[in-house]
Amino acid sequence: MTVLTPLPEAAPPRLLVSVRDVAEAELACAAGADLVDAKDPARGALGALPVATVRALVERLAGRAVTSAVAGEPAPGDMASAVRAMAATGVDYVKVALPPGCPPAPLSAAAAAAPGRLIAVLFAEDAPDAGLVPALAAAGFAGAMIDTAGKDGRRLTDLLDPARLAAFTAAARAHGLLSGLAGSLRISDIAGLARHAPGYLGFRGGLCRDGDRRRELDPRAVAEAVRTVSALPAREAA
């Protein structure tokens, strides 16, 4: 297992590329993506791939990139079992959607199902507050990220203002959590969002053919995103 540490505030973010199968995982890894994230774009914002597919993906990459996989959007009572099943694939990190107002007990149970490996996904449409971060840290989560639930053309930056994004990533750093920002991002968003010092920026549709998240990854777009992140000056993320 590969464990990521939160980045210093001035460090450029890592690049996460979401993939739907082993072939796309190989493409993202070969292009230099820092994190290869398994999810099913045909099943909504946080659709989980079959466990067997994720296990095959992890085995194929064999540690050449950090891996994560989506455990879906389970109800609070089902969260721990969904996380446990995905963690058993050997993936480095598991991501799970958190409904607004999720009580503490399911949070702790879910984190215990993938110790040190669970990332909370909060949806921008719910206007997540940085004040949620301490509870996630206390429950045992390894990180937290913001994504968009609706893939309707609205982007992360359309839904949340820079001050809220900066407060969220700052709270994650203060509590020792990884932080991520995603949500219909384009390559042109990288420099601006890097100023909020997230641990990673997550992409899917912006790196697919015709910008359609349900289509295959475009190797040229993935390579361009890798180059763009690599070219960021260190202070760009401050």
Per-residue pLDDT at 144: 98
Per-residue pLDDT at 154: 86
Query: Taking all residues of the chain, what is their mean pLDDT, rounded to a whole number?
Result: 93
State whether residue 192 is helix, strand or coil: helix
Per-residue pLDDT at 19: 98
Instruction: Assess if residue 49 is contained within a domain.
Output: yes
User: How do residues 191-203 score in pLDDT, each as one tens digit?
Assistant: 999 999 999 999 9
Alpha-carbon separation of residue 97 from 60, 113, 145, 222 (angstroms) = 26, 15, 10, 25
Cβ of 75: how many Cβ atoms within 10 Å?
A: 10
Instruction: Assess if residue 111 is contained within a domain.
Output: yes
User: How do residues 144-171 score in pLDDT, each as one tens digit?
Assistant: 999 999 877 789 999 999 999 999 999 9
Is pLDDT above 70 for 7? no
Token output for 167: 């407060």
State whether residue 176 is helix, strand or coil: coil
Instruction: Assess if residue 9 is contained within a domain.
Output: no
The backbone torsions φ and ψ at residue 44, rounded to the nearest 5 degrees and listed phi first, read: 90, -170
Provide the CATH number for the domain around residue 30. 3.20.20.70
Predicted TM-score of the model (pTM): 0.94
Instruction: Assess if residue 164 is contained within a domain.
Output: yes
Instruction: Assess if residue 163 is contained within a domain.
Output: yes
**Rounded Cα distance, 64 and 57, in Å:** 11
Is pLDDT above 50 for 26? yes
Instruction: Assess if residue 7 is contained within a domain.
Output: no
| DSSP per-residue letters across 25-39 | HHHHHHHT-SEEEE-
Per-residue pLDDT at 4: 76
Task: Please name the residue ranges forming H helices in 15-96.
Answer: 22-31, 51-61, 79-87
- Half-sphere exposure (Cβ direction) of 152: Cα atoms closer than 13 Å: 5
CA-based nearest residue to 183, from 218, 214, 213, 221: 213
CA-based nearest residue to 125, from 103, 147, 143, 96: 147
**Rounded Cα distance, 2 and 34, in Å:** 11
Which are the catalytic amino acids? Answer: 39, 95
Structural domain that includes position 151: 14-230
User: How do residues 109-137 score in pLDDT, each as one tens digit?
Assistant: 999 999 999 999 999 999 999 999 999 99
Domain count of the fold of the chain: 1
Instruction: Assess if residue 237 is contained within a domain.
Output: no
Percent of the residues in the chain that have a pLDDT greater than 90, as a whole number: 88
**Confidence category of residue 236, pLDDT binned at 50, 70, 90:** very low
User: How do residues 131-142 score in pLDDT, each as one tens digit?
Assistant: 999 999 999 999
What does the radius of gyration of the chain's CA atoms come to, in whole angstroms? 16
